[in-house]
Structure 1
Amino acid sequence: MSCQDSPLCKVFLDQVVPVVGSLTSLLIYIAPWKEVSLIIALRELGGVNVLPYAMMVCNSIAWLMYSFLIRNYFVMVTNLMGYGLGIYYTLQTYRFSTSAQQVSVARLLLVGTVVIFSASGISFVFISDPVSAKLFLGWVAVILLAAFYSSPLSTLYAVLQERSAKSLSWNLAAASLLNSALWTCYGVTLDDSFIWAPNGFGIVVALVQLVLLYLYGGSVLERQRLVSSPRVCETIDEEA
């Protein structure tokens, strides 16, 4: 008897794992909160990579569309929150970004949104077979998930050249590793490559980030010390 034939296993796969997976996915969306708060307090990026925030928006929209198609409320609620937080992170960091960073973020959001809604329109309107529609939009969501996981490494060259991982985030990398590991195990259990393949890739990317952070360190602690200083605390109090 396979795992799927066991009532207990079915409950575990259909209820427990999606709930836990939704919570770990939410951890990814919450992970940048402290870092973004520091950026707002200091009114500077401090070398932080802003592209993951824009990719968070695109990834959330893709999975929202997919959740509407398959009517999965676990996926829907989690990514609705991810969309809101992604928009908040993007808007807050956009004002402290350079012109080149702002152009990159705007271009990424524009292209991502066009691709997602075009794919969603095709899946909802033009593909009559539900299985084919799910497969098509699922591929788009999986590709964007892989892009979201890898977006922090868009500054990999600078990290290696400067020997500084200030553009990376401990919180985001750790949350990505936890989430990817859970969904990889789940996908392997179901023998579903749509689940384990992109999340297996996410494990590799998260581990690379953690190794780089361990080797080169980041600027999060430096910003934390600055926020704890009397001058910045007074600034925060005045704004509040």
Structure 2
Amino acid sequence: ESRASTAEPGQRRRRRRAGAMRSDPPGFFVTTLAPSLGVVLSNVLYLAPLPAVRKAQRHMQLQGLNPIPLALMALNTVGFLAYGLAVPNRYVVASNVLGIVLAVWYLATVLPLVRDEPSLQQLKLVLVGGASFLVLEITWATLFLAEEKERAGVLGANATAVCVLMFAAPLSTLSEVCRTRSSSTIYGPLTTAQVCNCFLWTVYGAAVGDVWVTGPNSIGFFLGPVQG
């Protein structure tokens, strides 16, 4: 009996240590490492259109560049920055600051090159309409919603909607890809970065129970291979 009684505490300690070893690494990965890598990949994602924008700038024409995803990128980053500040979540904030700066530069560079009047009007509609809605929504949520959870829900839902549109926007060029048998109008680097980035954010969002992180990124993860 004495041997059994002395062995049991030792066994319990070993089981506790084994359980800690099993639980700690996954917790660190999904709550710290995954979002940290997600911040890095998010910035890679926003840098991906840079070669196409620079090429358009050099040739003074779009060269097949679709400006609509760039407009949605600007709206998406502003929306998620507002959500990240409302929660607050430093990973969400850090993953969108650079994106806002880059998106504004992309648009300032590309806008004078959009010479097709219907395309220009469509781009202006997305930018002005989306920006107006964002400003009104952020103002309303900040001033009239007292509960932090309510504010975060409204801002998260709006950011999610824009994010899904941003992920789906390159799909509008699939008809041209099928017609010309060329995928030059869809950004290959953007697609690769999107899949990896969305996987990390989906894992992180599921771990912390944030549906506004998990939802749009899981959709982006599945849309990425279709775009590629």
Q: Scaled by the length of structure 1, what TM-score is found?
A: 0.79
Q: 2-side partners of 1:138 and 1:117: how far apart?
A: 14
Q: 2-side partners of 1:134 and 1:105: how far apart?
A: 28
Q: 1-side partners of 2:212 and 2:95: how far apart?
A: 19
8 Å contact 1:58–1:112 — kept in the other structure? yes
Q: State the partner residue of 2:176.
A: 158
Q: State the partner residue of 2:77.
A: 60
Q: State the partner residue of 1:109.
A: 127
SS of structure 1 residue aligned to 2:95? helix
Q: State the partner residue of 1:175.
A: 193
Q: 1-side partners of 2:222 and 2:52: how far apart?
A: 23
8 Å contact 2:55–2:63 — kept in the other structure? no
SS of structure 1 residue aligned to 2:190? helix
The superposition leaves residues 110-163 of structure 1 with CA deviations (integer Å, 9 ceiling, x where unpaired) of 111112122211211111111111111111111111111111112233333333
Unpaired runs of at least 5, structure 1: 211-240
Q: 1-side partners of 2:216 and 2:142: how far apart?
A: 24
Q: 2-side partners of 1:62 and 1:10: how far apart?
A: 28
Q: State the partner residue of 2:12.
A: none
Deviation of 1:60 after TM superposition, in Å, equals 0.8
Deviation of 1:103 after TM superposition, in Å, equals 1.4
Deviation of 1:55 after TM superposition, in Å, equals 0.7
Q: State the partner residue of 2:63.
A: 46
Deviation of 1:22 after TM superposition, in Å, equals 0.7
Q: State the partner residue of 2:38.
A: 21
8 Å contact 1:155–1:167 — kept in the other structure? yes
Amino acid at match of 1:201: I
Unpaired runs of at least 5, structure 2: 1-15
Amino acid at match of 1:155: T
Deviation of 1:11 after TM superposition, in Å, equals 4.2
| Cα distance change, pair 194–72 in 1 and its aligned pair in 2 (3 A) | closer
Q: State the partner residue of 2:151.
A: 133
Deviation of 1:99 after TM superposition, in Å, equals 2.2
SS of structure 1 residue aligned to 2:160? helix
Q: Which has the larger radius of gyration?
A: 2
Q: 2-side partners of 1:187 and 1:16: how far apart?
A: 13
SS of structure 2 residue aligned to 1:95? helix
The superposition leaves residues 18-62 of structure 1 with CA deviations (integer Å, 9 ceiling, x where unpaired) of 211111111110111111111111222121211111111000110
Deviation of 1:9 after TM superposition, in Å, equals 4.8
Q: State the partner residue of 1:187.
A: 205
The superposition leaves residues 43-83 of structure 1 with CA deviations (integer Å, 9 ceiling, x where unpaired) of 22121211111111000110111122123333223312101
Q: Which deviates further from its counterpart, 152-161 or 197-206?
A: 152-161
Q: 1-side partners of 2:152 and 2:123: how far apart?
A: 29
Q: Which deviates further from its counterpart, 135-144 or 154-163?
A: 154-163
Q: 1-side partners of 2:54 and 2:218: how far apart?
A: 30
SS of structure 2 residue aligned to 1:59? helix
Number of matched pairs: 209
Deviation of 1:108 after TM superposition, in Å, equals 0.5
8 Å contact 1:57–1:83 — kept in the other structure? yes
8 Å contact 1:54–1:90 — kept in the other structure? yes
8 Å contact 2:31–2:204 — kept in the other structure? no
8 Å contact 1:46–1:166 — kept in the other structure? no
Q: 1-side partners of 2:204 and 2:90: how far apart?
A: 18
**Alignment equivalent of 1:122, drawn from 140, 161, 185:** 140
